[in-house]
Structure 1
Amino acid sequence: MFSINVSPRFGDIDGLGHVNNTVLPVWFEIGRNPIFRLFSPDLDLSPDVWHLILVRIEFDFLSQMYFRSDVEIRTYITKIGNSSFTVGHEAWQEGELKVRGQAVLVYYDFKLQKSIPLPESIREILKAHMFPSMDSSSSDAETGTDSPCSI
């Protein structure tokens, strides 16, 4: 698992006084940087080196986050497929899980414009950072039933 701390900026706060939902995609992307470095240690974005493309992101907002208290972003691998992998994210503030999410990245050939299999060497490195998947069946996001949300 990778972990970074983020200090909410004044501009991250919305009119209701809490961290705005538009901030989490940015924080979770920052949390993915150590995973990006597994593929390209110096973060070289040239098409001959960079082979990752984001195809899906999702978030479950469990509770509000506020200014003046750092947020810990935890990042880990939850699933490895043939050409894709899923990254789990969590945002913690004051010891409480506030937001969880996931992102699906595909190993992609930008010249051929198609996905390609993950190299075995990368698969092994990703396996070292695996954690259990978020269990979306434990709460119904559409109806909010069984949701731990305190908003």
Structure 2
Amino acid sequence: MTDRFVHHCAVRWSDMDAYGHVNNARFLTLYEEARVAMMFVGAREAGVTSLEEGVIIARHEIDYLKPVDYGDAVRIEMWIEEIRAARFTVAYELFDGDVLASRARTVCAPYNLGQQRPRRLTEAERAFLSAYQ
């Protein structure tokens, strides 16, 4: 079983659409909050701060399985699906209570903001990500 990084996200009133469900575009925001928690908080706790220096998104893919209504929070479980030299894929499952409501994937690339170009993953980053692979 893959170790998963788990993050709880509050569902805000502003996340709702005219039908009373979380708007489809807001799922990206919820996934982003979880991914940032993993790369900033989780990585920092593991002694890795270089991911905070720049990561760009190359691709998002979302499957909507069930509408999510306004409520206290959703649980997002994440793991690393693939690690390559200069990119990695984060996989997610979003739960509304105990019900799986959405699945997603994001392809991320470490990025050197100063040089304005992608860079390779460091060994420390690979070790951190590998713990969730």
If the length of structure 2 is used for normalisation, what is the TM-score? 0.82
In the alignment, structure 1 residue 128 sits paired with structure 2 residue 131: yes
1:114 offset after TM fit, Å?
2.6
In structure 2, distance between residues paired with 1:28 and 1:35 = 11
| Larger fraction in helix | 2
Q: Report runs of 4+ in structure 1 exceeding 3 Å deviation.
A: none
In structure 1, distance between residues paired with 2:72 and 2:110 = 36
Aligned partners of 2:9 and 2:33 also within 8 Å: no
* Greater C-alpha Rg: 1
Among the aligned pairs, what percent are the same residue? Answer: 28
Structure 2: runs of 5 or more not aligned: none
Among residues 11, 21, 26, which one is paired with 2:24 in the alignment?
A: 21
For CA contacts below 8 A with separation 6 or more, give which structure has more relative contact order.
2
* Corresponding pairs, count: 124
Deviation digits for residues 6-55 of structure 1 (CA, Å, limit 9, x no counterpart) = 232222111112111121111101101233222528x85xxxxx131111
Structure 1: runs of 5 or more not aligned: 45-49, 131-151
If the length of structure 1 is used for normalisation, what is the TM-score? 0.73
Flag the 1:111–1:71 CA change in 2: closer, same or farther, 3 A. Answer: same
Among residues 68, 75, 79, which one is paired with 2:78 in the alignment?
A: 75
1:27-42 matched pairs, under 5 angstroms? 27-37=30-40, 38=43, 39-40=48-49
**Which residue number in structure 2 is paired with residue 136 of structure 1?**
none
CA RMSD of aligned residues (A): 1.9
**Which residue number in structure 1 is paired with residue 115 of structure 2?**
112
